[in-house]
A = this chain, B = another copy of it.
Amino acid sequence: MKRNTWQRQAVRSALGESAGFVSAQELHASLRDAGSPIGLATVYRALADLAVEGDADSLQSVEGESLYRACASPRHHHHLICRSCGTTVEVEADDVEEWAAATAARHGFTEPRHVIDVFGLCAACTSAGPRVAASPPSP
């Protein structure tokens, strides 16, 4: 059985307040900054639980870090993520869902799960920050 501790509530609410996707480390840091003595391991555990229960989405950043976000809508959706400021937009992708399922089926694959996320620079960051050398032409 799951017990209701202030730590889990803290993680839950901190996750709800953060705008985009957050890493466990970041979440732990901000909780600490807010004065909470919560432990790092606990944050990891709470996030993993939330993800399992379906109350949080999780995805891997391009660097391989696990990112979490409060799952707003029960509907299945994907994300458009600014790789500079972290802002995320939830996007519907019905067509793509179908494409994924159809493609899997056409090749005899079953139980398809897809990873479909788009990283880019949001409007604000685009105008603000042509900072690094041009990103390599995406393959």
Residues in chain A within 8 A of chain B (CB atoms): 52, 54, 57, 60, 62, 64-66, 71, 76, 80, 82, 89, 91, 93, 95-96, 99-100, 103-104, 107-123, 126, 135-139
Contact = CB atoms under 8 A, between A and B. Distances in A.
B139 A122 contact: no
Contacts of A60: 60, 62, 64
A52 B138 contact: no
- How often does this chain occur in the complex, in copies? 2
B135 A113 contact: yes
A85 to B, nearest CB: 11
A121 B110 contact: yes
Contacts of A93: 99, 103
